[in-house]
Structure 1
Amino acid sequence: MNTSRHTTIIVELSQASEKLDVIYSNILNKIHRFPSSLRSLDDGDYIVPRMVAIGPYHHGLQDLEDMEEIKKAATYHFCRDSGQPPEAVYEKVLAVAEDARSCYTDGGSVGALADFATMMFRDGCFLLQIMLWLLQDDGSAGRGAPSFTCRFNSMAALRDLFLLENQIPWVVMETLMACRPDVFRVVLREFIVYMGKFFQLHTDTDIGAKTLDLELDGGYKQPHLLALLHFHQSGGLSTSKELQLRGLETLPPVVTSAMDLAEIGVKLTPSRSVEFKDMALTKGPLFPVLSMPPLFLSELTACWLVNMAAFEATTAFPLGATTGEYTVSSYLTLLSMLMDRVEDVHELRAKRLIQSDFTNDRTLAFFKGGLTSYAYVNDRYIGILRQLADHKHKRWAWIAIHKFVYRYHKTIVTVLSIISVLIGIFHALLSINKP
């Protein structure tokens, strides 16, 4: 090989390495497309907005054009309430528009930079203003909101705000919140905590607030609004240093359903925490207890869960292992493992681990429809599987006794009742025959 050819190859390899370094060093700041591995789940429910497009990926959809006028009106109210003229606020967004456009993996170049900045300006103002209005009346167009807000369905709007492909970069949000920092720091915190309540039927207002405050102080830099909700629901950054991808190692053979766990004596119980990271298998007197955060499954939360799992999938190797980004996928995978039959869903409902607007059949279909087939899982999930396998190996004698009693307890009770009656009759006969 001649010297010039050798030099060319070295330069090409070096450039490729530098290019990948740039890509991966910034992967968590990107706004990604919905991953292809999960697109088989979508039947129009999880990817495309139904009411409002945020950012460039779905900008200009004809069905969503009506909301553009509401965005303009919301922008007017945002600027008026901030005490700054719209052109001054726009100039601030324009100053960060180039950085914002670089956050989109594709589709970010919508016309000229000024046109892109205008979209960011309106979408960002709309997002912040709509949070303010929604909080004023506990989740619907608030008492302080103008009358035109009745034109949109608040639940449909909330669904769209947390779609992976419907996000704007945080640099835009920070720029706009700086217009009223004291107001929107509180609004953002309360809004995310309130959104977290949709995953539970009963939650304390302050649950997760401390963790979220730490995040807002700079413990973790979210790329967009969906990432902030993900951070809040996951319970903050994981201390896990180990990433597990299904297939990279042989997982221990374990029981695979709620009914099977009941047979071997493992008690299922909802944890007191609502953060998805708080799932654990703990020792009991004879048998272990598997605790998991309870989940309320609805059209809204199902959509958000899929998009949070998609967000995790887009931040895979190499950074995911050190950022704790697989909490939601691990939680959903463990729940999916517990469901093989409709009877398992019924058992999980009885244990209050799942409550749902869905039927048992639809709940089972959601979890078994491919959601966790390609999911990354963390070492917390792997640890639970290993503990279950260890329990089956070490406590096999107690398990055999418990399984027999569990399967035939009705028959055992019936036989014991018959024996008790016969003993009573026998004693009665003996007392009659006594002189």
Structure 2
Amino acid sequence: MNTSRHTRIIVELSQASEKLDVVYSNISNKIHRFPSSLRRLDDGDYIVPRMVAIGAYHHGLPELEDMEEIKKAATYHFCRDLGLRPEAVYEKVLTVAEDARSCYTDGEAVGALVHVTGADFAAMMFRDGCFLLQIMLWLLQEDGSGAGRGAPSFTCRFNSMAALRDLFLLENQIPWVVLQTLMDCRPHVFPDVLCAFIAYMGKFFQLHTDTDLLRGSKTLELDGRYKPPHLLALLHFHQSGGLSTSEELQLRGIETLPPVVTSAMDLAEIGVKLTPSRSAEFRDMALAKGTLFPVLSMPPLFLSELTACWLVNMAAFEATQAFPLGAATGEYTVSSYLTLLSMLMDRVEDVHELCAKRLILSDFTSDRTLAFFLGGLTSYLYVNDRYIGILRQLADHKRKRWVWIAIHRFVYRHHKTIVTVLSIISVLIGIFHALLSINKP
């Protein structure tokens, strides 16, 4: 190998290392593309916005142009309510525009901004950021009539599931530095509005019959230890239950898992009781000891077009996080929750069992619910120690309590026959007693 070629190879290796250092040194603030490992699951439902583009990746799509006028109007209202000129607010965004732009320079993502000038990018961040915060204010002011108090009539266009869906797509985000800069313009209002809005969105995951999702919602509390990269990350933080404890910060998904047959119907056969947990946080799943058999508790889930999309995007967000960061900001909670739920489903009867136990309430048919969980999503997700621990406990239960399990399985499978036989025996005993009483002198 000649000297010049040797030098060129060393330079190429050094440049590749430096490039990766830049990419991963600030990974917590990146606006990521949807992971390639999960893209094959998408049929147009999980990645591309349907009504409103937020950020750089889908900006300018012809089918989303109508919402650009609403963005401008929302920006006007945001600045007017601040009592500031739009130019003054724009100047504040301009000071962080370069930092925001750097959040989009992750691998292939840089291509989305090649032809976007600095001024156009700053204007995009300005409009999208003001739009998001103003929409939060309007939605939180709803009085049940379909439009927020004080909100202009055109906002009724935004009050749809399609628009709310778009706000929490992984590729439809703007950097947190932009939102923080705009929130600093209203320090007496934010972050309370933001936290209340996220709590409002979180209610969509819960089993509910009350159409007023705002009433009684629990406000998200931020303690300053976690700074989200974008709005989706904050919803993920809220639904995961906050930061993980030290014993939960383990990355899993590669090691061999205990061989446990654990569909909902199979668990019923071995005596494991399924029950909803007391909180809606996805980390709140556990296998606890019972009198004879353990109890598996999990957060109940309302599955709809909206929540299915958000779940996939939160799992995709987890897949973009480098260990140990992914653990520290939710320890793969959503991925583990989805994996455990999918493990409990093998056939439509399992869906019925989970619905009967009020672990799932679905807008989908049973077949479609089963297809969502068994469509291959969980094959590419990491799981955490909480999930691994539950599987190990189930394996231990099957190994140590096999006698009780055999008895329970026999009774479970033949309980109708047993009831029938006992009923016949009861009738025969009654007849026998009657005959004895007749023959008595």
The separation in 2 between residues aligned to 1:204 and 1:130, in whole angstroms, is 15
**Which letter maps to 2:45?**
D
Q: Which residue of 2 aligns with 1:161?
A: 167
CA contact (8 A) 1:268 1:351 kept: yes
1:59-90 Cα deviation digits (max 9, x unpaired): 11111111111111111111111111111111
Q: Structure 2 residue aligned with 1:401, among 397, 402, 407?
A: 407
- Identical-residue share of aligned pairs (%): 85
Deviates more, 1:193-202 or 1:105-114: 105-114
Q: Structure 2 residue aligned with 1:293, among 288, 299, 313?
A: 299
Deviation at 1:206, TM superposition (A): 6.8
Alignment of 1:353-372 (within 5 A): 353-372=359-378
1:201-259 Cα deviation digits (max 9, x unpaired): 348967663xx323xx42111000000000000001122121102xx211101123100
Q: Which residue of 2 aligns with 1:94?
A: 94
Deviation at 1:347, TM superposition (A): 0.3
CA contact (8 A) 2:251 2:331 kept: no
Alignment of 1:302-341 (within 5 A): 302-317=308-323, 319-341=325-347
The separation in 1 between residues aligned to 2:7 and 2:45, in whole angstroms, is 52
CA contact (8 A) 1:102 1:108 kept: no
The reply to whether residue 213 of structure 1 matches residue 221 of structure 2 is: yes
**Which letter maps to 1:114?**
A
Structure-2-length-normalised TM-score: 0.93
The reply to whether residue 433 of structure 1 matches residue 419 of structure 2 is: no
**Which letter maps to 1:241?**
L
Distance 1:110 1:180, change over 3 A: farther
SS at match of 1:33: coil
The reply to whether residue 241 of structure 1 matches residue 249 of structure 2 is: yes
CA contact (8 A) 1:281 1:291 kept: yes
Deviation at 1:25, TM superposition (A): 2.1
CA contact (8 A) 1:269 1:292 kept: yes
Deviation at 1:273, TM superposition (A): 0.8
Deviation at 1:21, TM superposition (A): 2.8
SS at match of 1:373: helix
Q: Which residue of 2 aligns with 1:227?
A: 233
Q: Which residue of 1 aligns with 2:75?
A: 75
1:127-171 Cα deviation digits (max 9, x unpaired): 000110111106843021012223334322111100111000000
The reply to whether residue 51 of structure 1 matches residue 59 of structure 2 is: no
CA RMSD of aligned residues (A): 2.0
**Which letter maps to 2:39?**
R
Q: Which residue of 2 aligns with 1:122?
A: 127
Runs of 5+ consecutive residues of structure 2 not aligned to the other structure: none
**Which letter maps to 1:198?**
F
CA contact (8 A) 2:143 2:149 kept: no
Alignment of 1:244-255 (within 5 A): 244-245=252-253, 248-255=254-261
Deviates more, 1:94-103 or 1:197-206: 197-206
The separation in 2 between residues aligned to 1:15 and 1:322, in whole angstroms, is 30
1:21-73 Cα deviation digits (max 9, x unpaired): 33222112111111111112211111111110001111111111111111111
SS at match of 2:296: strand
Deviation at 1:323, TM superposition (A): 3.7
Distance 1:235 1:207, change over 3 A: farther
SS at match of 1:182: coil
Q: Which residue of 1 aligns with 2:195?
A: 189
Distance 1:366 1:89, change over 3 A: same
**Which letter maps to 1:93?**
V
The separation in 1 between residues aligned to 2:181 and 2:62, in whole angstroms, is 29
Q: Which residue of 2 aligns with 1:410?
A: 416
The separation in 1 between residues aligned to 2:10 and 2:62, in whole angstroms, is 50
The reply to whether residue 198 of structure 1 matches residue 204 of structure 2 is: yes
The separation in 1 between residues aligned to 2:77 and 2:180, in whole angstroms, is 18
Runs of 5+ consecutive residues of structure 1 not aligned to the other structure: none
SS at match of 1:43: coil
The separation in 2 between residues aligned to 1:56 and 1:356, in whole angstroms, is 33
CA contact (8 A) 1:193 1:205 kept: no
CA contact (8 A) 1:46 1:307 kept: yes
SS at match of 2:297: strand
CA contact (8 A) 2:275 2:297 kept: yes
The separation in 2 between residues aligned to 1:201 and 1:397, in whole angstroms, is 37
**Which letter maps to 1:66?**
D
The separation in 2 between residues aligned to 1:126 and 1:30, in whole angstroms, is 21
Deviation at 1:316, TM superposition (A): 4.0
SS at match of 2:302: strand
The separation in 2 between residues aligned to 1:44 and 1:270, in whole angstroms, is 32
The separation in 1 between residues aligned to 2:350 and 2:259, in whole angstroms, is 19
SS at match of 1:157: helix
**Which letter maps to 1:100?**
A
**Which letter maps to 2:101?**
R
**Which letter maps to 1:392?**
K
1:307-358 Cα deviation digits (max 9, x unpaired): 1011111114463244434100000000000001110000000000001111
Alignment of 1:252-271 (within 5 A): 252-271=258-277
Structure-1-length-normalised TM-score: 0.94
SS at match of 1:291: strand
